Amino acid sequence: MGFFSKMFGKKAAAAKANMHNVENRDLMQAIVGGCLLVAYADGSCEDEELKKMEQVITALPELKHFGNEIQETIGTFRSQLEAGFRIGRQKILKEISEIKGNDDERYIVFNTIITISEADGEVSPEEVTVLKDVAQILGISLREYGIE
């Protein structure tokens, strides 16, 4: 009986860890997608924005366990945005909408996106438009951030 308890206990723990990864995957995709959406808002993605994005994403404890999957997600979203900004935007906004029910996650996503928009020292009107779209989806007031 002890052997089966240990075996099933390990499988249950692995299943629980896998479920946590699936739940956090939505957060990871929303963060990565939102960062890229604001970085591409003005038509190009600057090196400063990519460097800041990498710095911010690697500092988030919620995303530490994704490793190479983050780079794959960045590649996927970049390809979509470069192929057609509207299509990429639509897919990313869908990912962002999937975390809107969790207060902690929606603020992590929005604060990360704002951080990327400020990476080059100024927030362009195109980036403000993206911020407004994301804030509306997440139910966040831009006045809290001094943006109107």
In angstroms, the CA 67 to CA 21 distance is 12
> What is the DSSP code string of 121-145?
SS--HHHHHHHHHHHHHHT--GGGG
The pLDDT tens digits of the residues spanning 74-130 come to 999 999 999 999 999 999 999 999 999 999 999 999 999 999 988 878 889 999 999
Would the pTM of this model clear 0.85, i.e. be above it?
Answer: no
Q: What residue type is assigned to position 64 of the chain?
A: K
To the nearest 10°, the Cα dihedral for 77, 82, 88, 92? Answer: 40
pLDDT recorded at residue 16: 47
CA distance 119 to 106: 20
- pLDDT tens for 44-76 read 887 878 888 989 998 999 998 898 899 999 999
The pLDDT value given to residue 99: 96
| pLDDT number for residue 17 | 46
pLDDT at position 9 is: 61
Beta carbons of 20 and 108 less than 8 angstroms apart? no
pLDDT average, residue stretch 36-42: 93
Q: Are 142 and 131 in contact (CB under 8 A)?
A: yes
Q: What is the DSSP letter of 142?
A: G
